[in-house]
Chains A and B, each alone.
Chain A
């Protein structure tokens, strides 16, 4: 009897998981399908470009610069035991471009933008503003969701690139001004092992993460129920789900792009 109950509960959990996954995919599919046909809401795309591309720069930049600094210091404490200090610039570069840049930039964007998207759309949902959009013959998926998904997918790679540059620069600052590396050598060692694929693989990851953040942010906003508490719950779900998916997807993409 206990085993049957266990199977029942596990089965229910699995079915609910499949339902939720299907619902998310349908939501994204419908949004893209309605979004790719005219009319296009260019003003919305421009607003999202400013929100995602411009206003995220400080938080992404600060994270990158301090991560690059900390990374250089930590590497130094390990590498100096093997007199391998010369490898530090390359290691920092590879770590930032392939892994830390895309993941950290995306996690910061998920925290900042994913949450704000869910809160904004969730509030619109519970205050009937989304119903009002439909009533005014404007498809909410086309007006609210598609511009966010497309802008997020295209602009998070740009943020990743900024993250890469500032992370490497942070490493350079600590390496040269704190650890006493020769500036020219540090720069040479950074670029000598750099390959286009290092940068490109990070940008591909950034695009995938941007898509996830905006899709989840909008989906959770549309799923908001009740009042302020419902919007708060949806916002938490959005950030948690985006962060977990980013980390899972990072593992998968690293294997694929390795």
Chain B
């Protein structure tokens, strides 16, 4: 257990192997309060596995994930659940429960995780729905009745409903048109800069990266090969960074 409160999240020497396939090779990073850290990298670089290890969806082979001073790796499920309640997650697909309405989706964590009454949870759900620029009319609709962008916004409303300290974004703008992407990016910035929530995101979207990141880490071959601020990224002469942000076919990234 660590008592270092400087960071809300610290990842130390994290590794993950599937048999002989070493996907994550000793990654360390940290996230300060109200900071937005974005992990970028090509397909197959290990971004999703890293995020799943941090979230405890898959167990890392070694290393530590320290959330609010407590190492989550190897923690009993109940204690982990208590800590995770301080986290919100926006999944790539939205991952809305398709058998539940928008209202039930947003209130789910509040009722089943926090034990709130339905009435109180509904009030919060409506407030969060307005935060993500959606109207009350969608409350009783099912996810299949909403557009992709609306589903993503509902998923974001669900992620922030429990007033988390940290939100994890998995490809938040994937599959969205530029305008809806812009709305999602604005909402992420609002979460971090106005509300003070810390954010750890993984993305391919350069435009999104430009808007939402305070610091950036570039993942390649399971290692964090470059780390710096948003400003550093655009002036970096690192060939990996250069190729990634320009989308050039020539460079160390191979397809």
Closest residue of chain A to B99 (Cβ to Cβ) is A120
Total contacting residues, chain B, CB less than 8 A: 26
Query: Are B108 and A137 interface neighbours, CB within 8 A?
Result: no
Query: Are B85 and A137 interface neighbours, CB within 8 A?
Result: yes
With A and B bound together, what is the CA distance between A132 and B170 in angstroms? 12
Say whether, besides A134-B57, A136-B109, A136-B112, A129 and B92 are in contact (CB < 8 Å): no
| Residue of A39, A127, A139 ringed by the most chain B CB atoms within 10 A | A127
Query: Are B89 and A132 interface neighbours, CB within 8 A?
Result: yes
Please tell me if B84 contacts chain A, counting CB pairs below 8 Å. yes
Query: Are B91 and A137 interface neighbours, CB within 8 A?
Result: no
Please tell me if A135 contacts chain B, counting CB pairs below 8 Å. yes
Total contacting residues, chain A, CB less than 8 A: 16
Closest residue of chain B to A131 (Cβ to Cβ) is B57
Q: Which residues of A contact B52 (CB under 8 A)?
A: 131
Say whether, besides A137-B81, A137-B84, A131 and B109 are in contact (CB < 8 Å): no
Query: Are A129 and B98 interface neighbours, CB within 8 A?
Result: yes
Q: Which residues of B contact A135 (CB under 8 A)?
A: 55, 84, 87-89, 91
Please tell me if A143 contacts chain B, counting CB pairs below 8 Å. yes
Q: Which residues of A contact B82 (CB under 8 A)?
A: 137
Separation in Å of the A214 CB from the closest CB of chain B? 18
Interface residues of A in 72-128 (CB under 8 A from B): 124, 127-128
Please tell me if B95 contacts chain A, counting CB pairs below 8 Å. yes
Closest residue of chain A to B86 (Cβ to Cβ) is A137
Please tell me if B45 contacts chain A, counting CB pairs below 8 Å. no
With A and B bound together, what is the CA distance between A124 and B57 in angstroms? 14
Interface residues of A in 26-72 (CB under 8 A from B): 34, 39, 41
Query: Are B113 and A128 interface neighbours, CB within 8 A?
Result: no
Please tell me if A138 contacts chain B, counting CB pairs below 8 Å. yes
With A and B bound together, what is the CA distance between A131 and B95 in angstroms? 8
Q: A-contacting residues of B (Cβ < 8 Å)?
A: 52, 55-57, 77, 81-82, 84-85, 87-89, 91-93, 95-98, 108-109, 112-113, 115, 158, 162
Query: Are A128 and B91 interface neighbours, CB within 8 A?
Result: yes
Q: Find A136's partner among B57, B93, B108 (CB 8 Å cutoff).
A: B108
Closest residue of chain B to A47 (Cβ to Cβ) is B99
**Can you list the 9 inter-chain pairs with the closest CB atoms, starting with the nearest?**
A136-B109, A137-B113, A128-B95, A132-B95, A135-B89, A137-B81, A128-B91, A137-B85, A138-B112
Q: Which residues of A contact B112 (CB under 8 A)?
A: 39, 41, 136-138, 143
Q: Which residues of B contact A136 (CB under 8 A)?
A: 108-109, 112-113, 158, 162
Q: Which residues of A contact B55 (CB under 8 A)?
A: 131, 134-135
Say whether, besides A135-B87, A135-B89, A139-B81, A129 and B108 are in contact (CB < 8 Å): no
With A and B bound together, what is the CA distance between A134 and B77 in angstroms? 10
Q: Which residues of B contact A41 (CB under 8 A)?
A: 112
Query: Are B92 and A138 interface neighbours, CB within 8 A?
Result: no
With A and B bound together, what is the CA distance between A129 and B77 in angstroms? 18
12 further contact pairs, Cβ within 8 A, besides A127-B98, A132-B91: A127-B95, A128-B92, A128-B95, A129-B96, A129-B97, A131-B52, A131-B57, A131-B89, A131-B95, A134-B56, A135-B84, A137-B113
- Give 23 A-B contacts (CB < 8 Å), ordered by A residue: A39-B112, A39-B115, A127-B93, A128-B92, A128-B93, A129-B95, A129-B96, A129-B98, A131-B55, A132-B95, A132-B97, A134-B84, A135-B88, A136-B108, A136-B109, A137-B81, A137-B82, A137-B84, A137-B112, A137-B113, A138-B112, A139-B81, A143-B112
Query: Are B109 and A137 interface neighbours, CB within 8 A?
Result: yes
With A and B bound together, what is the CA distance between A128 and B98 in angstroms? 11
Say whether, besides A128-B95, A131-B91, A138 and B113 are in contact (CB < 8 Å): yes
With A and B bound together, what is the CA distance between A138 and B162 in angstroms? 13
Query: Are B108 and A138 interface neighbours, CB within 8 A?
Result: yes
Separation in Å of the B171 CB from the closest CB of chain A? 11
Separation in Å of the A124 CB from the closest CB of chain B? 8
Separation in Å of the B31 CB from the closest CB of chain A? 17
Closest residue of chain A to B108 (Cβ to Cβ) is A136
Interface residues of A in 117-164 (CB under 8 A from B): 124, 127-129, 131-132, 134-139, 143
| Residue of B55, B82, B112 ringed by the most chain A CB atoms within 10 A | B112
Q: Which residues of B contact A138 (CB under 8 A)?
A: 108-109, 112-113
Separation in Å of the A48 CB from the closest CB of chain B? 12
